[in-house]
Amino acid sequence: MYKKITLFLKLHEEMLLAAKQRMAVVFHADDNNIPVDDFIGELWHKRKLVISAVLENALVDKLAATKLGEEYDLVVFDARESFNPDALGVISGVLCGGGSLIIILPEFKKWKNTQSLFLKYVSKLLFNQPGVYYFKNNDYSPEYLSKDTRENLKKDLDYMGNNAPYSTTDQKLAVEHVINSIWSNNDFCCVLTSARGRGKSSALGLVASQMINNTTCNILISAPRLSVADTMFFHLHKQCPQGIYQRGVFKYKNSSLKFIAPDSLLEKLPEADVLFIDEAAVIPLSMLEKLLSHYPKIIFSTTTHGYEGTGRGFILKFYKLLDAAKPDWKKLQLHQPVRWSVNDPLESWIESILFLNLKLIKKPVIPVDVTHCQVSLIDRSELIKDDLKLGQLFSLLVFAHYRTSPADFKYLLDDEHVRIYSLDYQNSNLGVLVVNQEGGFDSGLSTAIYRGERRPKGNLLAQTLCFHAGYKTAAEFKYARVMRIAVHPQVQKMGLGSYLLEQVIKCEEARGMDVIGSSFSATTSLLEFWNKAGLSLLRFGFSRDHVSAAHSAVMAKSLTCHSQKMIDDLSVKFLQNISLWLQGGLQTLSDEIKDSALLQSGEANCKTITQFDLADVESFARYNRNYDACMPAIIRYIKNLAATSVSLTEQEQQIIRLSVQYKNDWKTIVLKLNDNTHIKSKAQATQLLRNALGKISGIH
């Protein structure tokens, strides 16, 4: 079989190179790696990338993203151990025109009997696909390229001739337009959009290089991660080789381009001649609105679809915002691929496998009354057979502002704890809600979670209420965590989301779930939405998302009598603690949330020690409970201490005083301690506090 495949690759290489198109060759192999290694080693391609957990000189799939921006003529994707769709998306983007993608699947019998619905969906797409050649078994050889296929392999790429450094005409025109507009206008805003692989990030680098080479300027770039800007910095440095680049900062003469994280950008609003925002769809609209009002010259770029997994619904909402804030804004689109030709069949196939070609229903029928809609639990084994329904459901998740990746879709199809609910009207899907079942552990495991000794994967609600919120038996309850809820953009604000949630709550109660809840990036509108559905606010996360600058919130509702006490207790505990948390770990909550009615009904000046407090102090001192979560209890406990006969060292006495005075300001606490001790880190100071509290409470 390997000789057949090698011959097949050789026969079609010249034609693929001439057309700058790519193809995929798919076959099965057993667990014997020697013949596979020999086969790959004998292939003649100089730029070769192998993704595998077991083959020689291979890169594991989790590190595939480190190859973004590179170029290869041959890519091998070994899916025998696991099929990582995110990795497949990445490596398909680094394969150049004329190249081949080799996909190695598990042996045929194992593949045929797989229980994975995602892999069954992939299996459907191996047959009768242009540019995909499936060697099903050793006795079968796919037909060589048909006459029709050969006719389609035309040199349809728009070659650039002498237009270097641009990769395509699209890119050249876009960069020239941006440069001319920046220099001729005091106020300029544009949005650069493209599918992946169209040279969007490199275009930003070319814009920056022309500005820096021709004038003195200060440019800022913000993106969800510094790695997103790597391609831009690469092309900038390529065009300005005399410049100096050091992690996130490029300097040339008196000009500079600096990376800044979105939350830091919004907080500091540093001066800039031009602001770049790359992958803008990942950043909340509220943040982008504030940036629009502050920076006169701003360039947004975003991927309209791709393995990055940003919501395309962002585009619709953002354009409305731009119309109001910057009426003269410009829209620029890049259509021509950089590394392959326009009609590349492999790109279409990869988009189908990874759900990157989904489209919303254009004009859904609007129900007269929400109760006319049907809410149903989806049979996922039937869903993969219904391309229309599958497309409608998953397109809603993509267009919603979620970071939905191909791996998420694999999880939604395959995980046994996932349930998908659909909201339909007249055969059109208007909404989708995804539930993950969690918890239901025995008392021993729940106790271990409470102590910080265990963290079972995929149990966010059960774990956070047990460990962070500090309810020892919380993980024993069965939870329905709402992972995703999305409504078609054209029928939002009509009560459909609330109706869908209301019906799902009834369904999950009937299934015997104890609690329904959700964890989400907190905004006042979302807090009000979940509160309206009867869910109580039980927790805020203490760290902020570096992109949205928002804290996460946890809200939940009891569905059974025996879980009601837990929800009531945690709700009371939250309201008793919130005033101290706002002085500590939650100081950075937005003013809108701080003023929310949900935070105003607490016992703001609660000074009495409760049983919750004693439990938090004990678990902090004895086990690995989080300090921020236990801080209000610790403060009240220390303040209510009578004279104690317990002998504390001078260091322990000092940490007791400092913890009350500075709460969670560990930088100051460590500095104060360091004057008289060898304490040099938060971890050391925290352990000192654990020891002191343990002595006082009689634990140590």
Q: Which residue has the tokens 């609660």?
A: 606
| CATH number, residue 506 | 3.40.630.30
For residue 602, what are the CA distances in angstroms to 400, 471, 540, 639, 667? 34, 19, 15, 20, 29
Give the residue-averaged pLDDT of 246-254.
94
Name the residue with higher pLDDT: 53 or 405: 53
Helix (H) or strand (E) holding 134: strand 132-135
My answer on whether 111 and 144 are in the same domain is: yes
Q: What is the pTM of this model?
A: 0.86
Is the domain of 53 the same as that of 82?
A: yes
Cα end-to-end span (Å), the chain = 68
Give the structural domain span for 687.
611-696
Name the domain count of the chain: 4
For residues 401 and 381, give the distance between their C-alpha atoms in angstroms, rounded to a whole number: 27
CA neighbours closer than 13 Å in the CB half-sphere of residue 181:
22
Residues 426 and 509 in one domain: yes
| Domain shared by 147 and 174, yes or no | no
CATH number of the domain within which 286 lies: 3.40.50.300
68 vs 570: which has the higher pLDDT? 570
Burial of 508 (0-12, 13-18, 19+ CB in 10 A): buried
Angle at 279 between CA 594 and CA 277, to 5 degrees: 75
Same domain, 478 and 594: yes
Q: Both tokens of residue 111?
A: 């593949």
Taking the C-alpha atoms of residue 448 and residue 437, their distance in angstroms, rounded to an integer, is 20
What band does 676 get if pLDDT is binned at 50, 70 and 90?
A: low
pLDDT of residue 605: 59
Mean pLDDT of 536-556: 89
583 and 463, same domain (yes or no) = yes
Q: How far is CA 545 from CA 69, 402, 587, 589, in A?
A: 26, 14, 14, 11
Does residue 592 sit in the same domain as residue 622?
no
Give residue 70's pLDDT: 82
Asked if the model's pLDDT at residue 426 lies above 80, the reply is: yes
Question: Is 162 inside any structural domain?
Answer: no
Looking at the chain, the whole-number percentage of residues with pLDDT higher than 70 is: 92
Residue 363: band (very low, low, confident or very high) from pLDDT cuts 50, 70, 90: confident
What is the C-alpha separation between 581 and 578, in angstroms, rounded? 5
Does 99 have pLDDT greater than 50? yes
Query: What is the model's pLDDT at position 617?
Result: 96
Q: 312 vs 231, which has greater pLDDT?
A: 231
296 cis-preceded (ω within 30 degrees of 0): no
Lowest mean pLDDT across 248-262, 276-290, 457-471, 519-533: 276-290
User: Is there a single domain that holds both residue 590 and residue 622?
Assistant: no
What is the distance, to the nearest Å, from the Cα of residue 182 to the centroid of all Cα atoms in its chain? 32
pLDDT bracket for residue 1 (50, 70, 90): confident
8 A C-beta contact, residue 51 and residue 64:
yes
d(CA 161, CA 34): 45
Nearest C-alpha neighbor of 87 from the set 312, 354, 358? 354
Q: Which of 105, 121, 152 is the last residue of a domain?
A: 152
277-291, 477-491, 553-567, 574-588, range with the lowest pLDDT: 277-291
> Are residue 206 and residue 87 in the same domain, yes or no?
no
Same domain, 492 and 622: no
Segment 517-526 shows an average pLDDT of 94
**How confident is the model at residue 224, as a pLDDT?**
84
245 three-state secondary structure: strand
Whether 50 maps to a domain, the answer reads: yes
pLDDT at 316 over 90: no
**Is residue 692's pLDDT more than 80?**
yes
pLDDT at position 155, please? 41
Interval 140-183: pLDDT, tens = 445 444 444 445 544 443 444 456 788 889 999 999 999 999 99
* 516 lies in some domain: yes
Domain final position from 121, 152, 183: 152
- Average pLDDT along the chain: 89
288 within a domain of the structure (yes/no): yes
Q: What is the DSSP letter of 366?
A: P
Residue 605 in domain: no
Q: Are residues 315 and 376 in the same domain?
A: no
Among 69-83, 160-174, 433-447, 614-628, the minimum mean pLDDT is found in: 160-174
163 found inside a domain: no
Q: Which of 228-237, 304-313, 481-490, 590-599 has the lowest mean pLDDT?
A: 304-313
Tell me, yes or no, whether 74 lies in a domain: yes
Mean pLDDT on 295-321 = 73
Query: 425 forms bridges with which residues in the sheet?
Result: 428
Q: What is the CATH number of the domain that holds 131?
A: 3.40.50.11040
Predicted pLDDT at 195: 82
Residue pair 233/250 in contact by the 8 Å Cβ criterion? yes
563 lies in the same domain as 622 = no
Distance set, CA 190 to CA 29, 296, 329, 331 (Å) = 50, 11, 5, 6
Which tops the pLDDT comparison, 284 or 96?
Answer: 96
Is there a domain that residue 10 lies in? yes
Boundary (domain end) residue, out of 306, 334, 362: 334
Read off the pLDDT of each residue in 651-659 and give the average, rounded to a whole number: 92
pLDDT higher than threshold 80 for residue 347: yes
